[in-house]
Amino acid sequence: KLCEYKGIEIIEGHLMPDHVHVLLAIPPKYSVASVMGYLKGKSSLMIFDRHASLKYKFGNRKFWAEGHCVSTVGLNEAT
């Protein structure tokens, strides 16, 4: 839903035990950093609203770790 609001296309995603891989098509008017801040911030609020018991496990409402790793799809899309 969050991506739909901003016109971001989710191409592929994978959940790992301790992190998430997501391939997104982001419109050029948005920076990667602003999109990641938006997704991490709003999704953590949504998660805590739906699963109130997690507030006690994660204390000060920090569900996601700080930072993110970015790579682009360029000449070799298979990679």
Q: Degrees (nearest 5) of the Cα angle 40, 31, 6?
A: 65
To which residue do tokens 């050029």 refer? 28
Domain boundaries, the chain: 2-57
SS3 of 13-66:
EEECCCCEEEEEECCCCCCHHHHHHHHHHHHHHHHHHHCCCHHHHCCCCCCCCC
- What's the pLDDT at 28? 92
Place 58 in a pLDDT band, splitting at 50, 70 and 90: low
Domain 2-57 has CATH 3.30.70.1290: yes
**Choice among 13-27, 36-50, 58-72 with the minimum mean pLDDT:** 58-72
pTM: 0.73
More reliable by pLDDT, 4 or 58: 4
**Does residue 46 carry a pLDDT above 90?**
no
**Does residue 59 carry a pLDDT above 70?**
no
